[in-house]
Amino acid sequence: MLPVIALVGRPNVGKSTLFNRLTRSRDALVADFPGLTRDRQYGEGRVGPRPYIVVDTGGFEPVKSQGIVKAMASQAELAIEEADVVIFVVDARTGLTPHDERIANHLRRSHRPVVLAVNKAEGLDSVHAAEFYELAMGEPNMISAAHGHGVHNMIELALSHCPDEEIPIVEDDEVQEGKAPRVKVAVAGRPNAGKSTLINALLGEERLIAYDMPGTTRDSIRVDFEYDGRDYALIDTAGLRRKGKVFEAIEKFSVVKTLQAIADSNVVILVLDAKEGIAEHDAHIAGYVLESGRALVVAVNKWDALDSYERSRIDEEMEHKLHFLNWARQIHISALKRNGLNHLMKAVSDAHAAAFAKLSTPKLTRALIEAVQRQSPPRVKGVRPKLRYAHQGGQNPPVVVIHGNSLQAVPDSYKRYLEGWFRDQFNLAGTPLRIEFKLNR
């Protein structure tokens, strides 16, 4: 599970500045993930090798008539509840305020570990931090979100409060037994898209092999099941709870859980509601899947409820709004009538195979040379990049590392051309593909 860090503090102390810095620090992989409500923002960050989810809780103004507890009740509350650690941001320039003290009291009651960040501290002497000891929130960490000072150390401190990453299951064990590895699947989609109906249809009672009951709301569910002779694990999905033998949609939809489930999976099934069309929220989840590098299958659900005119309209809409996912397969299904599920799971299995494809250096290099012969990279300021050879740098998603000279001059359009080329040559439908350049000295 990705650790979750919540940024809490009164308005104007610099939370969104800090949020931007933390999410931007992840190499080229910025995932702004606006939630269902406008007052929270989600993103993924990384310090060293360790990724985490960061949630900006927005500024919570105390509502005087009802008190701060009421004001924080819904959204910020859920964010704190879901967080492994809270970064409590205060402002070194304005100093300690009564509002800070009220927030501190609230945080104490939440029983979450808190790291105190004294922001806007660039150029200030450490005496400015002293008054914040009064909050009794531990050592104040002087930082400057705007300039980046102290941020790295503070995040390392915050992550030290998070549970250690689980040791990943060695998938090769299962391969050695002659079995295909278990495919870890996350089912994502907005509320009411039909996720629980789909899961119930896929699992069936008798196929359910193992089930971990979550002890608290922060634990995750994982269900192992078999479909058509293949082993799958369903990773905890946001907005779902098990009740008796079936999954039910719950009221509280959690973006954090969606992000964690995606990060823990190999393949994401994105469930769209064909009756409602493509919503902004669908595109956000799709964008996040793309950035996470997970393989993806789009399930266009409730196909049974559409007439032929509506069907062609929704197909057009998808082409238009989800064009950046043209590598992912789209399967029309009816979770309710259990139509299309075999196709769907075949696509999941194929996407998994593509995500874990083994690409040999000679084959990759041959494909690279052919790609360049067909269309060479454009000359930039008199320099033509030289692409020499390629090898595989990772799986899920497959990474193709290309070596050569002047590779910094390769334009994005050419990179996209190569992406499409390798995808076709190696049958990599269903998975994102990354191209990386390594300069030869």
Q: Which residues are annotated as a binding site for GTP?
A: 9-16, 56-60, 119-122, 189-196, 236-240, 301-304
Nearer to ligand GDP, 151 or 387 (CB): 151
Integer Cα distance of 424 and 56 in angstroms: 40
The answer to the question of residue 13 lying near ligand GDP (CB under 6 A) is yes
CB 179: neighbour CB atoms within 10 A? 11
The answer to the question of residue 35 lying near ligand GDP (CB under 6 A) is no
Binding pattern to ligand GDP, positions 206-235, x when CB under 6 A? Answer: ------------------------------
Q: Residue 381, exposed/middle/buried by CB under 10 A (0-12, 13-18, 19+)?
A: exposed
Binding pattern to ligand GDP, positions 57-96, x when CB under 6 A? Answer: --x-------------------------------------
The answer to the question of residue 304 lying near ligand GDP (CB under 6 A) is yes
Contact 246, 200 (CB under 8 A): yes
Nearer to ligand GDP, 189 or 385 (CB): 189
Nearer to ligand GDP, 58 or 398 (CB): 58
Q: Using CB under 6 A, which of 75, 196, 266, 330 touches ligand GDP?
A: 196
Q: Using CB under 6 A, which of 140, 189, 398, 430 touches ligand GDP?
A: 189
Integer Cα distance of 34 and 397 in angstroms: 24
With contacts defined by CB under 6 A, name the span among 173-181, 193-201, 340-348, 432-440 that binds ligand GDP.
193-201
Nearer to ligand GDP, 144 or 266 (CB): 144
Contact 314, 301 (CB under 8 A): no
Q: Which residues are annotated as a binding site?
A: 9-16, 56-60, 119-122, 189-196, 236-240, 301-304
CB 309: neighbour CB atoms within 10 A? 8
**Angstrom distances, CA of residue 417 to CA of 126, 315, 321, 394, 399:** 53, 25, 21, 20, 15
Shortest CB 260 distance to ligand GDP, Å: 17
User: Quick one: how far is CA 203 from the chain centroid?
Assistant: 25
Shortest CB 59 distance to ligand GDP, Å: 5
Q: Using CB under 6 A, which of 23, 41, 141, 197 touches ligand GDP?
A: 197
Binding pattern to ligand GDP, positions 329-368, x when CB under 6 A? Answer: -----xxx--------------------------------
β-pair partners for 438: 403
Omega prior to 397 cis, within 30 of 0: yes
The answer to the question of residue 249 lying near ligand GDP (CB under 6 A) is yes
> Which helix or strand (DSSP H or E) is residue 263 part of?
helix 255-264
CB 20: neighbour CB atoms within 10 A? 17
Residue 421's closest CA among 327, 346, 344, 353? 327
Hey, is 166 helix, strand or coil?
Answer: coil
Residues 93-152 that bind ligand GDP (CB under 6 A): 119-120, 122, 144-147
Residue type, 206: E
The answer to the question of residue 40 lying near ligand GDP (CB under 6 A) is no
| Residues that contact ligand GDP, how many (by CB under 6 A) | 33
Integer Cα distance of 324 and 3 in angstroms: 28
Integer Cα distance of 314 and 276 in angstroms: 9
Residues near ligand GDP (CB under 6 A) are: 9, 11-17, 59, 119-120, 122, 144-147, 189, 191-197, 239, 249, 301-302, 304-305, 334-336
